[in-house]
Structure formats: structure tokens, C-alpha cells
Amino acid sequence: MRDYLKFYIDGAWVDPVKANPLDVINPATEAVAGRISLGGTADVDKAVAAAKRAFPSFSQTSRADRLELLNNVMAEYQKRYAEIAAAITEEMGAPGWLAMQAQAAIGMGHLQTGIAVLKDYSFEELRGTTMLAKEPIGVCAFITPWNWPINQIACKVVPALAVGCTMVLKPSEIAPFSAQLWTEVMHAAGVPAGVFNLVNGDGPTVGAALSSHPDVDMVSFTGSTRAGIEVARNAAPTVKRVAQELGGKSPNIILDDANLETAVGSGVVSMMMNSGQSCNAPTRMLVPAGKMEAAKAIAKAAAETVTVGSPDGNAKIGPVVSEVQWNKIQALIQKGIDEGATLVSGGPGKPEGLETGYYVKPTVFADVTNDMTIAREEIFGPVLAMMPYKSEEEAIAIGNDTVYGLAAYVQGEPEHARKVARQMRAGQVILNYAQGDMMAPFGGYKQSGNGREWGDAAFAEFLETKAIIGYAPAAAAE
């Protein structure tokens, strides 16, 4: 049982201003796995004040100083790697193999990428007699979710630290264990007091206090579009910068010249990974109408290979994160049935033999139309909607007919896939299930958010641009 009742403020573990413990539930067992404290406005005020005090000195540190610091963080992270992976399994149900090979691994990936970018990043550019200086924006508030908990902490903290910002983190109260270990890593690495602070809490209290705080210069939020709207609304009166990575309903267009077996089978398995709890998951599969019957058979066979079970075993997927999420997913599966979609595999209820834990059957619907609820709403579970199209133009139109625009997927002959990719309204387009790129900007069009994370694009989110006019003598500029 984990007891993480203190917050990390100004380089020390401190008690909350007011005790308000919360049980954290293991989604595989439905048992209490630990406790955290829910913070309040007074805790946020203390953390922001610490970050504000630390900013003048930390913002003036050298590139070499920050490279040394990030290397120290990476070394400490490596020491705690297995513990972090185990915490992720316990808090949000990721299978052990996924926690080790992807969930914890991506934290290391962001550290390596941030260090590589910082080594060569240009913070100054002389244009004529004017110096363009890129300077850290100030105190940053980070509000992160539970589905890829370390990823979404690291992709904010690493670039912010690299450019000289100070920060306050509010991780998800549903999956807070890995954030605690991340904070212990930061402390052990020698991050100066006040540069990084942790306050646990819920969105309506701590999240709102951070996003509205007058001494916070920038808020970066990852989560639902609904919550993102509230963050932006709270931030508006103080005109702070807001970066958001929100929901998705990503299309996966299977072109007529794609290998149907590979494209459909891999699409099903890819979509189910992490129990479907990825905002960029390829949840809408568009298949040529004449190939739909064959695609159904392939999808059914692929779904049946997606084993469900305890995250401590060898199952491909574990539970979803909470009872609330389980109930939401079940309601949407039933909605798909009620609205007339063809149930190819899975369906309502828990898989046989898994009565305890928030397990969902890997579910595939076919003959889905884009006006159905399961085609419009982000389900955030292992539920795939297969949709027929009659022409390539229709496939592109259906793919773009969503309020979201985080990712899109295209399968087909390379040149053909590239042509279609250019027409997709999404922040990332993945061709033929290409491997991820840690340097590729990550973020969305439309209601999937604004701003970009990952790689060098992330640095820009935490920098202001200052023009120093007359910096160089006119003769020197010539």
C-alpha cells in the first residue's frame, strides 16, 4: 500500500495545508492500492510562489548547466525505471510488458530527445541589426492525465526544464504513483528548489487554481476536450499562454491498393493497445465497400488474438483505468448495437473469468456510418468502428468529418498513401503503421488542441521571442 500524502514544494516534501486523503484504486483488482492527498488553492499558492522565486536564477542558467541537470535526471530515472513501470501497472492497469517497453520507456525517450535538442538549439538569431532572443516564458503549470502518465509528464517537464522554465505539476489523481516517483527522480537529480513542484489534486480544484493563477505564465494541459475548454476559460482572464493536447477520433484509411490482411489485422491490434486508452488510437477504420466482408473476417480473427487479463501476466491488454471509464465504454458499446452497427467481435460485459477488475472485451463494429455515436464520440476503450467507403474522395471526406484532428492513418502503396496524407486534417499522419518518431511534433488540429509537443517543436511552447532592435551596429550587420 502506497502512502503519498505529501506534496513536493520548494525542494522539500511538505504536508498539505488541509488534510484531504483520497484512495487510489488498482483497476485490475478494484482494491485500494494507496492514498494521496487532494490539494487546495492554498497548496497551489505555495507551489506557484516557490516556482516564481526560483525563476529569476534558473532562467539565467547556462545551456551547459541545464544539460548537466537533464543528464542527472536521466541517470536517476534509469535507476528507478523498473519501479516506475511497476507503478504504472498498478495505477492504471498497463500490462507489465507494456509498462516496461512503452510506458516507462517513453519517459527515457523524452529525456534523450530533450538532451539532444538542447545541445544544438538556437536561442539567439541576429537579423540585420536586430537580435531575436528566445527566452523562457516563466512559471508553467502542467496538468496531466492517467492514460500514458509518464509520457505526458516527461514531454512537458523535459523541454520546460531544458529552456529554463520553472513549473508546478498536477498529475491525474486517478494514476498518481508514477508522478510521485518522477518527483523523487527530480529531487535526487539535484533540480534546484522551486524549479519543479508537485501538488496532487482534482481538476475542478487544483487544476482550476493553476490555470487561473495570476503568477502562472503558461499552462499545458493534456486530457479531454471538455476539460480543455475549462482550462482555457480559466486561463483567459490572465491572458496566459495555453497549450493543449486533447481528444481524438482518428481515421485509419485502408486504400484499395493496401494489403488487406496486414492493414486490417494490424489496425485492429494497434487500436486495442493500452486497452484503447490512447488519444491518437486509430479508432475509425475506413475500408473499401467491396472489401468490407473480407475485412470483417480479418478484423474478427485479429480481435480474437487480443488477449485480456491481469496486467501481471502475458495478456495483450489489461483493464481500463476505472469503474467510471468502464461504465462509459459499456454504454457506448450498447449504443453501437442500438444504432444498428454490426457487432463483429466482443460486445457488452466483462470477458469470461474476469469478473473482478475493469476489463472490457476487445470489440469490433462494422457497417458503421459516420453519424453514429460510436463514430463521433471518443470511446477511450478497445472498441473499433469499421466504416465502408465507395471512393477515395469519400474516404478522405469521412476521415476529416470530425471535430477532432489529432492523428490519421493511411495504408497503401507509399506514393498513394503520401498523396492521401496531404489531404488529412490532422497533426500527425502515420503511413503504413510506421514506427513512432520522438522528434515528430505531436498535437492536433481543430478540437484536438493547440500547440505541439515532442522534440524541438516542444521547446517553442516554453519560449517567448524578444526583439532587441539596434543590438548590432549597422556597419557590423552589413
Residue matched to cell numbers 483567459: 236
DSSP string, 321-372: S-HHHHHHHHHHHHHHHHTT-EEEE--SSPPTT--SS-----EEEES--TTS
Alpha carbon distance 86, 108 (integer Å): 15
Question: Contact at 8 Å (CB) between 304 and 345?
Answer: yes
Please give the positions annotated as active site: 245, 279
Residue pair 444/466 in contact (Cβ under 8 Å)? The answer is no
Q: CA–CA separation, 207 vs 70, rounded Å?
A: 27
Give phi and psi for 438, each to the nearest 5: -65, -20
Q: Backbone phi, then psi, for 452, in 5-degree steps?
A: -135, 140
Rounded Cα–Cα distance for residues 375 and 369 (Å): 7
CB 253 within 8 A of CB 284: no
Residue 113 C-alpha cell reads as 530527445
The answer to whether the CB of 232 falls within 8 A of the CB of 242 is yes
Q: Cα angle at 153 between 188 and 61, to 5 degrees?
A: 55
- How many angstroms separate the CA atoms of 245 and 256, rounded? 32
Q: DSSP strand E in 27-147: where?
A: 31-37, 124-127, 130-136, 139-143
120/459 Cα distance (integer angstroms): 12
**What is the spatial distance between Cα 439 and Cα 55, in angstroms, rounded to a whole number?**
27
Tell me how crowded residue 75 is: count the other CB atoms within 10 A of its CB. 13
- Residue 216 DSSP label: -
Nearest to 106 by CA among 65, 177, 68, 155: 155
Cell of 384: 473499433
**Cβ–Cβ contacts within 10 Å for residue 465, how many?**
10
Report residue 66 as a C-alpha cell.
Answer: 541545464
Q: Please report the DSSP string for 276-300 in residue order.
A: G--TT---EEEEEGGGHHHHHHHHH
- Establish how many alpha carbons lie within 13 A of residue 81's alpha carbon, considering only the half-sphere containing its beta carbon: 15
Render 84-96 in DSSP notation, one character per residue.
HHHHHHHHH---H
- Give dist(CA 408, CA 248) in Å, integer: 9
